[in-house]
Structure 1
Amino acid sequence: MPDHASESSVRPETPEPTGTSKPSRATESKPEGEPTERPESSEAPGMSEAPEFRDAVPSPPQVPAYAQQGRQPQPPNPWQSNRQTTGTLARLRPARPAAIRNATLWAAVATALLSALLLGDGLGPNLLIVAVPAALAAYFAAQAAGRRLRTWSAVWAVGGLALLAVPALRDAGWPTFLAVVSAVALGSLTLHGSRSWLGVFLGSVGLLSSVAGGLRWGMGGVRDRMTGSRGRWGVVFRSTVVAIGLLIVFGALFASADAAFADVLGNLIPDVSLGDAPWRIFLFAVGLVGALTAAYTAAAPVRWDDITIRAGKPRGRLEWALPLIVLNLLFAVFIAIQLTVLLGGYDKVMAETHLSYSAYARQGFWQLLWATLLTLLVIALALRWAPRGQSRDRTLVRTVLGALCLLTLVVVASALRRMGLYVDAYGLTRLRISVAAIELWLGVVLILIMAAGMFGARILPRAVAASAAATVLAFGLVSPDGLIAEQNVQRYRSRHTIDIDYLRGLSADAVPALDSLPEPLRSCALKEIQQTLRTSDAPWYATSWGEVRARDILEKRSANALVANCRGQGSEGGSGRNGVEGDDSYDPY
Structure 2
Amino acid sequence: MLMDASIGKKQAGVLIGAFLCGCLHHLLFYNHAWGLSFPIFMIVFYVFFYWSVKEQVEIRFNAPMMLLIPIVLLSLTYVTFANETFSVLNALAIPCLVLVHTIWTMRKPAIRWYDGSMVLAILEQIFVHTMRHVPTPVIAIYRGISQKMKVDRSKQVWKVLAGIVISLPIVLVVGALLASADTMFDRLLSQLPRLLGDLNMGESIFRAIWIIFMASAIFAYVWGLLFPLVRKVRNAQDPIAHWELEGQPTSHTGSGLPLEPAFEAPAAPDPLTSPAPYAPKKIRMDATVITTFLLILNAVYVLFAFIQFSYFFGGGLASLPDEMTYADYARRGFAELVVVTVINFTVLMATLHGTDRSSRLMDRFLRVLLAVLIGCTGVMLCSAFMRMAMYERAYGFSETRLLVDVFIVFLSVLFVIALVKLWNDSLKLMKPYAIIAIVAYVIVNYMQVEGIVASNNVKRFETTGSIDTDYLGSLSFDAVPYLIELKLNHPELDGADKALQRMKRRLPLPGETSWVSFNLSEWRAARALQNIPLTEER
TM-score by length of 2: 0.70
Q: CA deviation at 1:488?
A: 0.9
Q: Would the aligned equivalents of 1:179 and 1:472 in 2 still touch at CA under 8 Å?
A: no
Partners in 1 of 2:292 and 2:59 — Cα distance? 48
Q: CA deviation at 1:311?
A: 6.4
> Which residue pairs with 1:291 in the alignment?
218
Q: Would the aligned equivalents of 2:34 and 2:78 in 1 still touch at CA under 8 Å?
A: yes
Partners in 1 of 2:418 and 2:149 — Cα distance? 59
Partners in 1 of 2:361 and 2:228 — Cα distance? 41
The equivalences for 1:417-436 within 5 A come to 417-436=386-405
- 1:385-441 Cα offsets, whole Å, 9 max, x none, are 311325545444433333322332232222112111111111111221232233222
Q: Would the aligned equivalents of 1:504 and 1:528 in 2 still touch at CA under 8 Å?
A: yes
- Are 1:212 and 2:131 matched, yes or no? yes
> Which residue pairs with 1:172 in the alignment?
83
Q: CA deviation at 1:213?
A: 2.9
Counterpart of 1:335 in structure 2: which amino acid?
A: A
Q: Would the aligned equivalents of 2:126 and 2:221 in 1 still touch at CA under 8 Å?
A: no
Q: Would the aligned equivalents of 2:469 and 2:496 in 1 still touch at CA under 8 Å?
A: no
Pair 275,125 (structure 1): closer, same or farther in 2 beyond 3 Å? farther
Q: Would the aligned equivalents of 2:381 and 2:408 in 1 still touch at CA under 8 Å?
A: yes
Counterpart of 1:532 in structure 2: which amino acid?
A: R
- Are 1:325 and 2:295 matched, yes or no? yes
> Which residue pairs with 1:199 in the alignment?
117
> Which residue pairs with 2:446 in the alignment?
477
Which of the numbers 315, 326, 331 marks the counterpart of 1:345? Answer: 315
Pair 458,187 (structure 1): closer, same or farther in 2 beyond 3 Å? farther
> Which residue pairs with 1:336 in the alignment?
306
> Which residue pairs with 2:340 in the alignment?
371
Paired positions, count: 424
Q: CA deviation at 1:205?
A: 5.9
Of 463-472 and 168-177, more deviation after overlay is shown by: 463-472
Pair 206,526 (structure 1): closer, same or farther in 2 beyond 3 Å? farther
Q: Would the aligned equivalents of 2:393 and 2:460 in 1 still touch at CA under 8 Å?
A: yes
Partners in 2 of 1:181 and 1:309 — Cα distance? 37
Q: Would the aligned equivalents of 1:191 and 1:301 in 2 still touch at CA under 8 Å?
A: no
Pair 367,230 (structure 1): closer, same or farther in 2 beyond 3 Å? farther
Which of the numbers 352, 357, 382 marks the counterpart of 1:383? Answer: 352
Q: CA deviation at 1:150?
A: 8.1
The equivalences for 1:95-110 within 5 A come to 100-110=10-20
> Which residue pairs with 1:502 in the alignment?
471
Q: Secondary structure at the match of 2:466?
A: coil
- 1:55-102 Cα offsets, whole Å, 9 max, x none, are xxxxxxxxxxxxxxxxxxxxxxxxxxxxxxxxxxxxxxxxxx966544
Pair 499,346 (structure 1): closer, same or farther in 2 beyond 3 Å? farther
Counterpart of 1:117 in structure 2: which amino acid?
A: L
> Which residue pairs with 1:355 in the alignment?
324
> Which residue pairs with 1:52 in the alignment?
none
Pair 402,216 (structure 1): closer, same or farther in 2 beyond 3 Å? farther
Which of the numbers 137, 140, 165 marks the counterpart of 2:48? Answer: 137
Q: CA deviation at 1:458?
A: 6.1
> Which residue pairs with 1:523 in the alignment?
497
Partners in 1 of 2:422 and 2:130 — Cα distance? 39
- Are 1:410 and 2:372 matched, yes or no? no
Counterpart of 2:218 in structure 1: which amino acid?
A: A
Q: CA deviation at 1:170?
A: 0.9
The equivalences for 1:155-166 within 5 A come to 155-166=66-77
Counterpart of 1:428 in structure 2: which amino acid?
A: F
- Are 1:547 and 2:522 matched, yes or no? yes
Q: Secondary structure at the match of 1:144?
A: coil
Q: Secondary structure at the match of 2:34?
A: coil
- Are 1:115 and 2:25 matched, yes or no? yes
Partners in 1 of 2:55 and 2:468 — Cα distance? 58
Q: CA deviation at 1:455?
A: 4.1
Q: CA deviation at 1:471?
A: 2.4
Q: CA deviation at 1:554?
A: 0.5
Partners in 2 of 1:134 and 1:292 — Cα distance? 11
- 1:491-544 Cα offsets, whole Å, 9 max, x none, are 111111101121111111110111111233331111111011044722222121
- 1:265-288 Cα offsets, whole Å, 9 max, x none, are xxxxxxx99885455445424532
> Which residue pairs with 1:401 in the alignment?
370
Partners in 2 of 1:335 and 1:118 — Cα distance? 55
Partners in 2 of 1:299 and 1:550 — Cα distance? 46
Counterpart of 2:17 in structure 1: which amino acid?
A: A
Q: Would the aligned equivalents of 2:50 and 2:59 in 1 still touch at CA under 8 Å?
A: no
> Unmatched 5+ residue regions in structure 2?
1-5, 105-110, 151-198, 230-261, 266-277
Name which one, 1 or 2, has greater alpha-carbon Rg.
1
- Are 1:538 and 2:513 matched, yes or no? yes
Partners in 1 of 2:394 and 2:99 — Cα distance? 43
Q: Secondary structure at the match of 1:355?
A: coil
Pair 540,382 (structure 1): closer, same or farther in 2 beyond 3 Å? same
Q: CA deviation at 1:343?
A: 2.2
Q: CA deviation at 1:468?
A: 2.3
Q: CA deviation at 1:350?
A: 2.7
> Unmatched 5+ residue regions in structure 1?
1-96, 232-271, 565-589
The equivalences for 1:34-49 within 5 A come to none
Q: Secondary structure at the match of 1:143?
A: coil
Partners in 1 of 2:440 and 2:380 — Cα distance? 20
- 1:124-171 Cα offsets, whole Å, 9 max, x none, are 121111112222333234333457778442232322222111111111
Partners in 2 of 1:472 and 1:542 — Cα distance? 24
Q: Would the aligned equivalents of 2:35 and 2:79 in 1 still touch at CA under 8 Å?
A: yes
Identity of aligned residues (%): 19
Higher RCO (C-alpha under 8 Å, 6+ residues apart): 2
Pair 368,540 (structure 1): closer, same or farther in 2 beyond 3 Å? same
Pair 202,161 (structure 1): closer, same or farther in 2 beyond 3 Å? farther
Counterpart of 1:543 in structure 2: which amino acid?
A: F
Q: Would the aligned equivalents of 1:215 and 1:289 in 2 still touch at CA under 8 Å?
A: yes
- 1:239-262 Cα offsets, whole Å, 9 max, x none, are xxxxxxxxxxxxxxxxxxxxxxxx
Partners in 2 of 1:204 and 1:160 — Cα distance? 17
Counterpart of 1:404 in structure 2: which amino acid?
A: L
Q: Would the aligned equivalents of 1:200 and 1:461 in 2 still touch at CA under 8 Å?
A: no
Partners in 1 of 2:68 and 2:302 — Cα distance? 42
Q: Would the aligned equivalents of 1:104 and 1:141 in 2 still touch at CA under 8 Å?
A: yes
Partners in 2 of 1:471 and 1:309 — Cα distance? 38
Counterpart of 2:214 in structure 1: which amino acid?
A: G
Partners in 1 of 2:52 and 2:70 — Cα distance? 21
CA RMSD of aligned residues (A): 3.3
Q: Would the aligned equivalents of 1:166 and 1:476 in 2 still touch at CA under 8 Å?
A: yes
- 1:449-500 Cα offsets, whole Å, 9 max, x none, are 3334444466432332332222222222111111111111111111111011
